[in-house]
Amino acid sequence: MRVCVCATPEQATARVVARIARTVRENPRAVLGLATGGTMEPVYRGLIEAHRAGLGFAGVTSFNLDEYVGLDPAHPQSYHSYMRRHFFDHVDIPADRRFLPCGDCDPAEAAAIFEARLEQHGPVDLQLLGLGHNGHIGFNEPGSSLGSLTREKTLTRRTRDANARFFRPGEVPPQSAITMGIATIMRARSIVLLALGAAKAEAVAEVVEGPVTAFCPGSALQYHRDVSVILDEGAAKDLRLVEHYREAELLMSRRAS
Ligand code: F6R
């Protein structure tokens, strides 16, 4: 795992944007794995800026991690809508190469279709991940099998409460989602996880330095050969080896320049 601690959330976000942009520049036919949530909104703003400055996405295929069960694509809080609003409506990824699980289909069928599409177009070259307060990646909640594929997962109360802020007052967030499984995520060639703010610090420490356990699904990333964890100071504050990660990054960046 490469752990990069940036001075500010903006710098951490810019680093992720630069990594995605480099992937697309080097391979215009790249397959990107995309995430949603509050952390990703500025990432998409950065990518839209890069697009306006000349970065083309016309050859890219994208796969989103998850979608709420029971929300049709037009629902404002569906991840289909989120992706259109924050990214797809502003760049040129062809509509027939943007894949999200179907939220208003039979969940088992939707999951099987999504895995089949991944087989057909994958593997994902670069998978973008956020991190839940409970260590979830995608919507793989604590207790998720580390060998899981795309399937329906019940969301914990903590996740539903955290996501209630995106729904209208009085609207009840869905109780489950279809999510790429942990084994599905692990098939990506490279993974970048972005976590920002002190509220994520405990989960970050468990992912990076804790034991590998289904209790903290993100800890499975320790088994992946190419993972970068990009953090701001707040999210890094509980890491025991933080000084070591800083030194390693300094060495790597000196070598690169
Ligand atoms: C969303 C997703 C989730 C979020 C996580 C963090 O597609 O996969 O794992 O990345 O819940 O969400 P925010 O960024 O809103 O804290």
Segment 30-76, tens digit of pLDDT: 999 999 999 999 999 999 999 999 999 999 999 999 999 999 999 99
Kind and range of the H or E run holding 2: strand 2-6
The yes-or-no verdict on residue 253 having pLDDT over 90 is no
Ligand 1 centroid from CA 250, angstroms: 29
pLDDT for 199: 98
The yes-or-no verdict on residue 170 having pLDDT over 90 is no
The yes-or-no verdict on residue 86 having pLDDT over 90 is yes
This prediction's pTM: 0.97
By most ligand atoms within 8 Å of CB, the mutation choice from 13, 34, 62, 65 for ligand 1 is 65
35 close to ligand 1 (CB < 6 Angstrom): yes
Strands 151-154 and 176-179: antiparallel
CA R_g for the chain: 17
Could you give the CA distance from residue 172 to residue 168 in angstroms, rounded to a whole number?
A: 8
Q: Are 154 and 51 in contact (CB under 8 A)?
A: no
Fold of 2-256: Rossmann fold (3.40.50)
Beta bridge partners of 63: 33, 99
